[in-house]
Amino acid sequence: MAAIELRNVVKTYPNGTSALDDVSLDIADGEFMALVGPSGCGKSTLLRVVAGLEEITSGEVLIGGELANGLPPNERNVAMAFQTYALYPQLTVYENIAFPLRVAKSSSRREIDRLVRDASRTLGLDDVLQSKPAVLSGGQRQRVAMGRAMVRDPQALLLDEPLSNLDARLRSELRAEIAWLQRCLGTTTLYVTHDQSEAMALGDRVVVLERGRVQQIATPRDLYRHPANLFVADFVGSPPMEFLPSTVTGDVVEFSFAWVRISREKAARVHGREQLIAGLRPEHVRLEELAGTDHQYARIPLDVPPGVPDYLAEYERELASGPRLSLDPRGDYTRRFLERGRDDVYVNAKSLHLFDPATGQNLTRDLV
Ligand code: ADP
């Protein structure tokens, strides 16, 4: 096991495509780091850079505290798996796990046997060692693939969208399995996915990448509660954060349909600006204004357009003034809202994120 560190890594492909633009991140020994971002943002490139399959243009890659720049993949001892359950169908579970050891030719028969049986015990595969992959469940295949990656005792495990081609049920089953295995094995892991909910469910921390640049590195909770910018705020969370164009004067933030008074700290942060984008998580929409709050709450009139089927109205209500506001379908508020047939809701100034429309930066990241 080892820590992995990238310092100011730049990767520009020969055709001029900039895939990684000054990327710095550190993965602690034993940590599960999820790397997430839209297609083409540089995730696979970053993984290949750590594996040694891709030369970097500039910067440093450290594995276990040692500079790995220029080291070929086989000297890095990191295990990489694309589709973790792509096993050799003609080989038994035992032979599938032993395969990398036989190829490496560095262990005796006895040693190989010991390593395979150790892995099999840890992974709960003793009963199926002589079976072929075809008769295994999805979860068992996943374990075999992990066993195969683990027998060489890699410094780190690199997983590239391992669940991307599976159906939703198997996907969530294997997701839980991967999390469990990683905790058991304690191997430093970098897990690439384009699915934010997968990254949030699995990562001790999550790196959000966009156009080759790190947008934020944080625990799932921090990413959700304190997004660094508009991109992260929009990318993380389902249903997504709502964005409302607004203007600010002193401590008053005005939307097209209502206004609200923000705290002194927040007002200081946005001082000198006129235009802002206010961001609101759906679960922060409330049904009642709390008494005596001095315009901490803005009343938002809602208007359900005619012809919208109920099941859609449940998720979205049109604001009278135009922009849409989604209500969290899981939220207590939404249920009560629907039961009572309300035509207005309230927004607490405390739960508003305020973004700079030009840079996208969250000006109030730590104040929500
Ligand atoms: P992701 O894994 O997030 O989808 P990639 O790392 O595959 O992103 O790609 C990042 C960017 O680099 C994309 O614009 C992609 O088209 C480009 N790219 C990837 N591989 C190559 C290559 N071998 N040559 C040129 N451009 C590439």
Dump the DSSP string for 330-354.
TSHHHHHHHHHT-SEEEEEGGG-EE
The reply to whether ligand 1 has any atom less than 6 angstroms from the CB of 41 is yes
Choose the final residue of a domain: 204, 234, 264. Answer: 234
Nearest Cα residue to atom 25 of ligand 1: 13
Nearest Cα residue to atom 10 of ligand 1: 42
pLDDT in tens, 233-290: 999 987 778 888 899 999 998 876 677 888 999 999 999 999 999 998 877 766 555 5
Nearest Cα residue to atom 14 of ligand 1: 40
Choose the final residue of a domain: 172, 206, 234. Answer: 234
Atom of ligand 1 nearest to the CA of 37: 3
Choose the final residue of a domain: 211, 234, 257. Answer: 234
Runs of H (alpha helix) within 34-108:
43-51, 93-104
CB contact at 8 A, 19 and 11: yes
The reply to whether ligand 1 has any atom less than 6 angstroms from the CB of 160 is no
Asked if pLDDT for residue 38 goes beyond 60, the answer is yes
pLDDT in tens, 207-248: 999 999 999 999 999 999 999 999 999 999 877 788 888 999
Looking at residues 181-187, what average pLDDT do you find?
Answer: 82
Residues 230 and 277 in one domain: no
- pLDDT for res 106: 82
125 CA to centre of ligand 1 in angstroms: 37
Which mutation among 10, 11, 45 tests ligand 1's pocket best, with the greatest number of atoms within 8 A of CB? 45
Nearest Cα residue to atom 20 of ligand 1: 45
Q: In CATH, what number is assigned to the domain containing residue 177?
A: 3.40.50.300
The reply to whether ligand 1 has any atom less than 6 angstroms from the CB of 44 is yes
Place of tokens 């030009």: 358
User: What residue numbers bound the domain in which 73 lies?
Assistant: 4-234
Q: Provide the pairing of β-strand 188-193 with 32-36.
A: parallel
Report d(CA 73, CA 31) in Å as an integer.
Answer: 21
Peptide bond into 89 cis (omega under 30): no
The reply to whether ligand 1 has any atom less than 6 angstroms from the CB of 45 is yes
Atom of ligand 1 nearest to the CA of 41: 3
Domain count, the chain: 2
The reply to whether ligand 1 has any atom less than 6 angstroms from the CB of 40 is yes
